[in-house]
Structures are given as C-alpha cells and as structure tokens.
Amino acid sequence: MTATNYQKIVIALTKGRILDEVLPLFQQAGIAPLEDIHVSRKLIFDTTVPGVQIMVIRGSDVPTYVEFGSADIGVVGKDLLMEHGSEDFYEPLDLHLAKCRLMTAAPVGVAPVQGRVKVATKFANITKRYFAEQGAQIDVIKLNGALELAPSMGLADIIVDIVDSGNTLKANGLEPLALIAHISSRVIVNKAAMKMKHAVINPLLQRLAEAVEAKK
C-alpha cells in the first residue's frame, strides 16, 4: 500500500481520548506516524506508509476537512457526524473505539417539566431533531462545556450530552434518562477521493477493518 505523488492521502484524526485509542489500531494496520504525536507541536505527520500523512485536529473540524477534500479520510465520533450531517462523505467503517452513549439527563427525582422544555447541549442539531420526533416543544441553549451545571443553576431543565460511566452526572445530581444514540469512532472518506484514489484508500480501509476484527 503506497501512495503515489499524485495520490497523496491525508488522514484527519481527532485530538484527545479518541487519538489515544486510534493510534494503536492504526499502528496494527501498519500506519504509524514517524514522530511522537504527543510530543511534537506539529499538526501533520508523515507515516510509515509513503505518501500517507496524519493530521491531528479538533474533532468538530474533522467532518469539514473531509467534506471539502482537505483530508481524504477522517476518524471522528458518531456524535459529531450526527451533528454535522453525514450526507457529504462516506462512512465505511466503525472502529468500535471510544464507545459511549448520547443521552438526555435531568436532576434526580425532579418531575418532568410540563410544556416547553429548556434543553442545554452542545449538540443543537441532534437535540432539535430528537425532540421534534418526540413531538416535544423545546428551547435549545447552546453550551460548549459544563453542561451538568445548567439545571442546578436554573439555565435549563434537562441536558443532552455524552454519557460514559455516568459518574459525572451522578456527582452533579443528575441521572440519565433517554438514549438518543450509541456512539463510537467512525472512519469517513471524502466522496471524490474514494473515486479518484480508490487504489490506495481501499487497501488502507481493508487493513483497518482487519485490525478492528483482530481486536474484537
């Protein structure tokens, strides 16, 4: 699997927890950065596969880089794909990494709000779609962090957020309620790149798929 000069491949990976789980899987598939990503201040790295580079960016930016072709392939959480919309690229592989749940949560023991509900979340699009499907009227309050504080501070009635162990919710007097979606890391591919660079991308995806199966 070698990329020619005319078929350079750029893979966008997500910073943080997903990166720590994805890098060993990529290494098992024979794709490893030539430098220590955790030490270097660079954002793009050559790899053990000639012509294939790894870019490390914010997860929320991965779908945009792949959609517009600045990256050919990306790895990103399903939550961000649902929020961004996934019609502009292919989603060929579930890596089964960074698993969690996207859920609603509310203060423990508090009766459900009657009428219009205030919902705090960073997933505004998902939240609007979900509650519209439930036939509920809501006001979305967009926050980028500390969602667990919103109900206790009177900012929101409930929240929509990622839940892992549930310990953070519990520590802040909240309990998970409804499951919106199971979340894990997914591989996405630019549609034009899949057509123009399939000779390089298809073997790469196959090796990643084999690494995923071997890990199960």
Torsion of CA 179, 184, 189, 194, to 10 degrees: -100
Using CA atoms, how far residue 124 sits from 3, 47, 141, 211, in Å, is 39, 36, 8, 34
Query: Does the fold of domain 101-181 match that of domain 5-98+184-215?
Result: yes
Domain ranges, ordered by start, for the chain: 5-98+184-215, 101-181
Q: Are 3 and 9 in contact (CB under 8 A)?
A: yes
Those residues with Cβ within 8 angstroms of residue 200's Cβ, 6 or more apart along the chain or in another chain:
1, 2, 3, 4, 7, 9, 51, 52
DSSP 8-state class, residue 110: P
Q: Which pLDDT tens digits describe the chain residue by residue (216 residues)?
A: 555 545 799 999 999 888 999 999 999 999 999 999 989 889 999 999 999 999 999 999 999 999 999 999 999 999 999 998 878 899 999 999 999 999 999 999 998 888 999 999 999 999 999 999 999 999 999 999 899 999 999 999 999 999 998 899 999 999 999 999 999 999 999 999 999 999 999 999 999 999 999 987
Q: Are 181 and 79 in contact (CB under 8 A)?
A: yes
- Region of 173 (left: φ > 0; alpha: ψ -120 to 50; beta: rest) is left
Tally DSSP H helices, then E strands, for the chain.
Answer: 8, 11
55 phi/psi in degrees, rounded to 5: -110, 135
pLDDT at residue 154 in the model: 95
Rounded (to 5) percent helix, strand, coil in the chain = 35, 30, 35
pLDDT at residue 85 in the model: 86
Looking at domain 5-98+184-215, which CATH architecture does it have? 3-Layer(aba) Sandwich (3.40)
Torsion of CA 74, 64, 46, 36, to 10 degrees: -80
pLDDT at residue 87 in the model: 82
Name the residue among 140, 80, 153 with its Cα closest to residue 104. Answer: 140
Class of the 101-181 domain?
Answer: alpha beta
